[in-house]
Structure 1
């Protein structure tokens, strides 16, 4: 793996018809966020070879909205990514690092946010970068990392729908 994209699902509705959190769908704003993020990743040449997607409705719908911009990507729905803590997300990254040149993990906060922060700390990111991420990990956001041959992640960027001009 040469690149890693850690992404949080786009904005979801506050509830679902079934009442369960896992089945909450994307809101209209979230559908727009996901489309925008898919285009932004594609424009930056960040087309994943493999996307590991939480089985929650909102993450699957986020991927569906991004798909057209990113083209043909191997996708795996992963039930264990639903609300996974950072150590579980990290295991998924490590277990799949040889499967893709660019890996996308599409999951939930707080796990995505915490893992991104851990990678930043481990790579001795600058205080300015740490400060930027400490402000939160909004819906639809993606932390971008380059990965060296030893598997160490170095900060490449942080993209948010709002930073791309999306309105909430």
Structure 2
């Protein structure tokens, strides 16, 4: 089995004079990112490989969740930035098969489009919600049969969960 965890970067700021690639997290994002890291850890969603867009907001999101996870270092993959779902799928399909789970931290609309393309089954309400939104710092978990990332294709994934920061309470 392969498990793909898609995480949209946490909420970012839009300072004047800063190019999109260099936008940092805002205060809400700085609170939500560690909350999602704690959620991933509590749920045992520990990736064996991590790929991150080079955007400052995605790297800051990873830095904020990394301490909660006991996993690998992230690989910054420039082609994730502003990528359409086909380019993101190519990254997934070329993941080394030694990694059973992959965390990809990126952007919309690419992540949402990828999740919708891959989710052929799973919770109906979650798939419907995913067709409408993919909030900042939200996590989508997709499971795939098989032992090779190269076999991941449209409709072959099962949506295991779709969780946004507003859906969880850590420490209750």
Number of residue pairs the alignment of both structures matches? 163
C-alpha distance in structure 2 between counterparts of 1:117 and 1:109, whole Å: 12
- Return structure 1 stretches of 4+ with deviation > 6 angstroms: none
Provide the residue aligned with 2:143 in structure 1: 146
Matched, 1:155 2:154: no
Task: Kindly indicate whether the alpha-carbon contact (under 8 Å) linking 1:49 and 1:74 is maintained by their aligned counterparts in 2.
Answer: no
Paired residue secondary structure (2:117): helix
Matched, 1:52 2:56: no
TM-score normalised per structure 1: 0.90
Provide the residue aligned with 1:105 in structure 2: 104
Of 110, 121, 125 in structure 2, the residue corresponding to residue 128 of structure 1 is 125
Gaps (5+ residues) in structure 2?
none
TM-score normalised per structure 2: 0.88
Provide the residue aligned with 1:2 in structure 2: 2
C-alpha distance in structure 2 between counterparts of 1:77 and 1:141, whole Å: 20
Gaps (5+ residues) in structure 1?
none
Provide the residue aligned with 1:33 in structure 2: 32
